């Protein structure tokens, strides 16, 4: 199975303005980017590698609310949240929000989700986070709930360890059938990548440790696919990169060589339009790399 190479543009909704976000989305959409992204946090954070406390001086807008606005500001690009923190919402509520965005966008939603990780967000609102294992088990159950609500069934009963549904209704269903593509973000080899093999249409990672490590993890995902009886080629591989606009071809090429076909480019909030314009001019060359 050969997947098309697609390029996304992501501008985080912190330290910016609504006007700047709208301008970014419009330019990216008109320039031919395949998908556009925000992220899902509750408080602005600095640039330190280990985030312990929110920065009250940084403004931050809600990701899913922005997706509704993005749907009205764009025409062609697909859109999503990279990635939603499962720990912040009941999955039935999230399923309803996502369905609404799918309708607002005319069926363009890409459903990105992960376990949630920011301890400070959960602490400040007294929300449960739990251990990594607990989060993954909870995410697995949440995905079961969401898929059930998105199914043709008129009502859903579910009794799990973390969630319970009692004749829950979900109408309308998403425009996309059987459901919007599910993107799972995470790198845990023992549990998270197994969940990706079982549930995801796309696996997403972030370029923290380089392409060689990501390729190794992609191989681990292949083995989990064999374990659960799924063709590894059914799962597209995605990476988030923060490119240098002047050498974006060099930044992207190794990832395409490693089999990653969904490339999400993360733009700095300081000068997003200038950087976006430079990268947009190279889109034809980027698409020709493979």
Evaluate whether residue 167 is within a structural domain. Answer: no
Task: Label residue 2 by pLDDT band (50, 70, 90).
Answer: confident
Evaluate whether residue 39 is within a structural domain. Answer: yes
DSSP class of 14? B
Cβ proximity of 224 and 267 under 8 Å:
no
* Tokens of residue 198, six digits: 């079982």
Share of the chain above pLDDT 90, in %: 89
What pLDDT, on a 0 to 100 scale, did the predictor assign at position 3? Answer: 87
Q: Beta strands of 76-155 (E only): which ranges?
A: 78-81, 84-85, 109-114
Candidates 26, 51, 151; CA nearest to 99 is: 151
Evaluate whether residue 196 is within a structural domain. Answer: yes
Mean pLDDT of 94-113: 98
What pLDDT, on a 0 to 100 scale, did the predictor assign at position 168? Answer: 98
Give the side-chain half-sphere CA count within 13 A for 228.
18
Mean pLDDT of 2-18: 94
CATH number for the domain that contains residue 95:
3.20.20.30
Provide the domain count of the chain.
1
Mean pLDDT of 208-226: 97
What pLDDT, on a 0 to 100 scale, did the predictor assign at position 118? Answer: 87
What pLDDT, on a 0 to 100 scale, did the predictor assign at position 189? Answer: 96
Evaluate whether residue 172 is within a structural domain. Answer: no
Helix, strand, coil share of the chain (percent; to 5)? 45, 20, 40
Does the pLDDT value for residue 47 go beyond 60?
no
Mean pLDDT of 134-141: 97
Evaluate whether residue 219 is within a structural domain. Answer: yes
Evaluate whether residue 61 is within a structural domain. Answer: yes
* Distant-in-sequence, close-in-space partners of 180: CB < 8 Å, separation ≥ 6: 98, 102, 109, 110, 111, 174
Q: Which helix (H) or strand (E) holds 15?
A: none
Q: Which helix (H) or strand (E) holds 73?
A: helix 63-73
What pLDDT, on a 0 to 100 scale, did the predictor assign at position 52? Answer: 60
Mean pLDDT of 185-190: 94
Q: Report the sign of the C-alpha dihedral through residues 168, 171, 174, 177, in that order.
A: positive
Share of the chain above pLDDT 70, in %: 97
Q: What is the DSSP string of 225-290?
A: HHHHT--GGGSEEEEEE---GGGHHHHHHHHHHTT--EEEEEEPSSSHHHHHHHHHHTHHHHHTT-
Could you read off the pLDDT of 231-279 as tens digits, one per residue?
A: 999 999 999 999 999 999 999 999 999 999 999 999 988 899 999 999 9
What pLDDT, on a 0 to 100 scale, did the predictor assign at position 48? Answer: 47
Evaluate whether residue 216 is within a structural domain. Answer: yes
Does the pLDDT value for residue 72 go beyond 90?
yes
Q: Residue 241 belongs to what domain range?
A: 6-146+178-287
Mean pLDDT of 219-237: 97
What rounded mean pLDDT belongs to the chain? 94
The least confident of 48-57, 99-108, 216-225 is 48-57
Evaluate whether residue 199 is within a structural domain. Answer: yes
* Tokens of residue 68, six digits: 């509704």
CA distance 263 to 35: 10
């Amino acid at each position: 199975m050969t997947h098309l190479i697609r390029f996304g543009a992501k501008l985080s909704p912190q330290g910016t303005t609504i006007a700047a976000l709208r301008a970014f989305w419009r330019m990216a959409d008109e320039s031919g980017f395949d998908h556009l992204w925000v992220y899902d946090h509750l408080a602005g954070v600095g640039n330190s590698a280990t985030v312990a406390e929110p920065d009250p001086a940084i403004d931050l807008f809600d990701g899913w609310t922005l997706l509704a606005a993005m749907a009205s500001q764009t025409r062609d690009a697909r859109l999503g949240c990279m990635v939603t923190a499962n720990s912040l919402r009941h999955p039935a509520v999230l399923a309803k929000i996502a369905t609404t965005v799918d309708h607002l966008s005319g069926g363009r939603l890409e459903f990105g989700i992960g376990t949630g990780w920011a301890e400070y967000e959960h602490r400040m609102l007294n929300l449960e986070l739990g251990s990594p294992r607990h989060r993954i088990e909870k995410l697995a159950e949440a995905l079961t709930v969401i898929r059930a609500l998105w199914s043709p069934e008129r009502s859903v009963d579910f009794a799990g360890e973390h969630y319970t549904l009692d004749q829950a209704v979900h109408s309308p269903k998403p425009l996309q059938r059987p459901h919007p593509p599910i993107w799972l973000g995470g790198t845990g080899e023992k549990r998270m990548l197994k969940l990706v093999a079982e549930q995801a249409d796309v696996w997403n990672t972030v370029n923290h440790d380089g392409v060689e490590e990501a390729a190794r993890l992609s191989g681990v995902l292949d083995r989990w696919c064999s374990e659960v009886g799924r063709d590894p080629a059914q799962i597209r591989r995605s990476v988030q990169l923060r490119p240098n606009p002047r050498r974006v071809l060099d930044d992207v090429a190794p990832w395409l060589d490693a089999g990653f076909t969904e490339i999400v480019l993360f733009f700095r909030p300081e000068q997003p339009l200038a950087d976006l314009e430079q990268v947009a001019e190279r889109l034809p060359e980027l698409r020709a790399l493979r």
